Amino acid sequence: MILHEPYGNEDPYKHGACERYPRDPEPGDPVQVRCRDQVGATRAWVAVTTSTGTTEVAAVPLGDDLWTADIGAFPPGLVEYRFGVEGGDAGQAPGDAPSYRFEVGRRLYVTGVAQVVPLSDRVRLKLDTGAAGGTAPTAHGAYLDLSFPLAGVLRTELHLGSLHEAQGEEPAAGTRTYSHALDASLLTVTAPGMAVRLDLASLALQVSLPGSSEPAFTGSLACQWLELAGGRASQVSTRFSTTADEWLYGLGERFTRANRNGDLWDVRVYEQYKEQGKRTYLPVPFVVSNKGYGLWIDAEEPSYFDLREPQAVVRVDKYVEELAGAGDQAAPSGPALLATCIIVAPEPYQVTAAFTQLTGAIAVPPKWAFGPWMSSNSWNDQALSEAAVRRTVAEGVPASVIVIEAWSDESTFYIFNDAQYQPQPGGAAPRLADFTFAGRWPDPKAFIDYCHQHGTRVVLWQIPVLKHLDEPHAQGNADERHMLERGYAIRQADGSPYRNKGWWFTDALVIDFTNPEASAWWFDKRRYLLEELGIDGMKTDGGEHIWGRDLRAHDGRRGLQLYNAYPNLYVGAYHEFVQQATGGDGVTFSRAGYTGAQRYPSHWAGDEDSTWNAYQASVRAALSAGVCGVSMWSWDIGGFSGEVPPVELYLRSTAMAVFSPLMQYHSEGHGASEVRDRTPWNIAERHGDPRALDVYRRFAQLRMRLLDLIYDDALALSAAGLPLLRYPALAYPTAHDFLSGDPYAYLFGRDLLVAPVIDRGVEAREVRLPPGSWVDAWSGSRFEGLRTLQASAGIDRIPVFVRADSPRVNLWLAAFTEPSNGGG
């Protein structure tokens, strides 16, 4: 009779008509609840029960059978409410209605340090805590560890729990990884690459480079969180200080301006189809300052960086279960309520390098992956796909990779369209001999062999779900039964399977890659694609729709952790499978990721329109992702969606893609009546402009001449923990103010400055040269740095400059000189 969904479908950005707002109220938050009555009621109300009793709040009609009620703001405690209606077809008293509840936590603060305990590898601080309006401490106590995992890295871990007396014993002489001194209320700690000063009274924290009189990082240990019943806790936050002239970079792949300072950002994986704005497929809770420090929140849960004020606030939607024991008897154990890493270094990109040491080395794809890629959703059969390869060969346009998205039956996602076969039990693993191919894909093996004969590798599309089928499908239904019977899907709290709540593949089952048995079953069904058909990799699309705070994975992760962790679990499992099946000669190509995504190359920037704005946003996204270690990155040349791009946009974006880690064009599918492929010949034919093909060919051939140099750079920079694309302003911090004036120029590899043309109708482009001497890659002319110049930028040229002191400067310049026969 009454429909009320307190959390809706848990889309983090879109609220339903019948939700509670806010979904998780904090102390003092006004709470609104909405419902839909299904009986045509003439009056509705809400009965609200707290520890002080029950009150009735009248609901207001909104039309369309919707009602809303403002039920008030609440102090800490449990709140229960029920809806009642009368009139219409039937009445429903609150006593007969389902009840809903939420808990308002008590906000606790760290107020001081009660004890300093030096241990061999960390300094442990016993904390004093208090609540708003009083000094009542947490029942379980709290402590904080300071440790030093790498030179220049301070890790802080806030735990709930108390200290045993034995934990105050001094370690044996010479066993510590740091030195410390305690003078009244000032604790100083010296560790490799850093010096730490903590005022035990004010909790002010400063982190400096060794020998420096000025702190690189200033923050506070005055953390706060919400304490719930039974010692549970949620929503923990901390603070650090920024300055008005400071630029903060990072937070993952972001499509907006480079400087994060002065704005509010959330860190959660989300599929925003086109025009992403501040939303992203690949967030990372890590910022780097041009002042030479970085702050990483080591948490999988969604987090928020409020950088609008000089006292910046970082909050994590953490949830800690009830602690065992109570008071001083509770031993420190379990995960940290909040873990942060503060990194200081002489230069900002050294902060990035330390971050990749902490979160995983940057992996490098095989050398062939650095050639041009080709793709279109319209290539949905063997004839069209083979024709695309045949045309690129005939036109002399290099293509190292072809991605085929529309190849599978979309019932199993591991069987080619129109293949004939005898359905097998859901637990069985298919082999190539099980299929008779016909229809759209009469001979996939012949197609793959044909591609390989012409130097083109084959990548097939994947998603991590078993699609909900409206029509019977023998194999799909068998797979679903097996998946459900064995518990291979992500689950709800009650053990039932989670079905995708997102708009894409709605109601699909989502495979749980934390379950080794589930992963083995999933990949055994796809093994023949690599081991018998010989494909070279998989485009691991999707992975963003894990919505639900009560979800569970096999390894114990909860919904809040799975929001962001799932894409890495998914892509990491595919990466391991592909590398094992290809002997390390395969690739994954992914849209979503999180902290540590650089371990599973490569990634692309998701779906964008064919517009100049989208092109500019993609350049911004590449540089932002690189600050957080995501190096092997790509995007769709000229845009993925909509009408074919203008020739000028297509060629400008092609030129930029030549100097990107990976280079690919791709387009969404369309009907047979219109071809919107982003192939250079289709762009040329659609616009009647042969430059699209001729200039693209020359750029693709240039990419092939640069391939060895780019691959060498990928290996060298990855070993150093650095991305291929970098902000000049961060790489040359002494010239930050000058270089940050151009948000689109970037460093590519170890030697190149690239200034892409990002506006229409441009024949020359202003370039800001970093310090040092630079050589124009096209003309060979030499220029001194820290100056601006107007560089020629015709439709077939992108301003590129080479470091004059590079030992490879002549190799770069030679690659820019076209062979007399025009070959690659």
Asked about 607 being catalytic, the answer comes back as yes
Q: Single out the residue of 126, 125, 119, 122 nearest to residue 141, CA to CA.
A: 126
How far does Cα 631 stand from its chain's mean position? 13
Helices 647-658 and 612-627 pack at an angle, to 10 degrees, of 10
471: number of Cβ within 10 Å: 7
Asked about 470 being catalytic, the answer comes back as no
- Residue by residue, DSSP assigns 718-736 as HHTT--SEE-HHHHSGGGH
Residue among 227, 317, 381, 607 flagged as catalytic:
607
Give the helix/strand (H/E) hosting 248. strand 248-252
Strands (E), 729-799: 746-748, 752-754, 764-769, 773-776, 782-784, 787-792
Rounded-to-integer distance, Cα 553 and Cα 547, Å: 13
Asked about 541 being catalytic, the answer comes back as yes
Residue ranges of alpha helices (H) inside 13-151 are none
Q: Single out the residue of 173, 196, 176 nearest to residue 186, CA to CA.
A: 196
Tokens standing for residue 585: 């000669």
What is the side-by-side strand order in the sheet with 663-665? 633-634, 603-604, 587-590, 537-540, 457-462, 401-404, 372-375, 663-665
Rounded-to-integer distance, Cα 569 and Cα 564, Å: 10
Helices 474-486 and 516-524 pack at an angle, to 10 degrees, of 170
Helices 680-687 and 691-719 pack at an angle, to 10 degrees, of 150
> Alpha-carbon Rg of the chain, whole angstroms?
29
Tokens standing for residue 465: 């779900």
Residue among 145, 300, 536, 541 flagged as catalytic:
541
Q: In this structure, are residues 215 and 207 in contact, taking their beta carbons and an 8 Å threshold?
A: yes
192: Cβ–Cβ under 8 A, 6 or more apart, which residues?
148, 150, 151, 152, 177
Rounded-to-integer distance, Cα 482 and Cα 494, Å: 19
How far does Cα 596 stand from its chain's mean position? 9
Conformational region of residue 449, where left means phi above 0, alpha means psi within -120 to 50, and beta covers everything else:
alpha
Supply the DSSP symbol for 649: H
Tokens standing for residue 245: 């002239």
Rounded-to-integer distance, Cα 322 and Cα 233, Å: 8
165: Cβ–Cβ under 8 A, 6 or more apart, which residues?
none
Conformational region of residue 572, where left means phi above 0, alpha means psi within -120 to 50, and beta covers everything else:
alpha
Residue among 266, 381, 536, 544 flagged as catalytic:
544
Q: Between vectors from CA 546 to CA 541 and to CA 550, what angle results, nearest 5°?
A: 165
Q: Single out the residue of 439, 506, 504 nearest to residue 470, CA to CA.
A: 506
Tokens standing for residue 385: 């796909």
Which whole-number Å values give the CA distances from 274 to 118, 358, 745, in the listed order?
52, 32, 23
Residues found in the chain: 824
Active site residues: 541, 544, 607
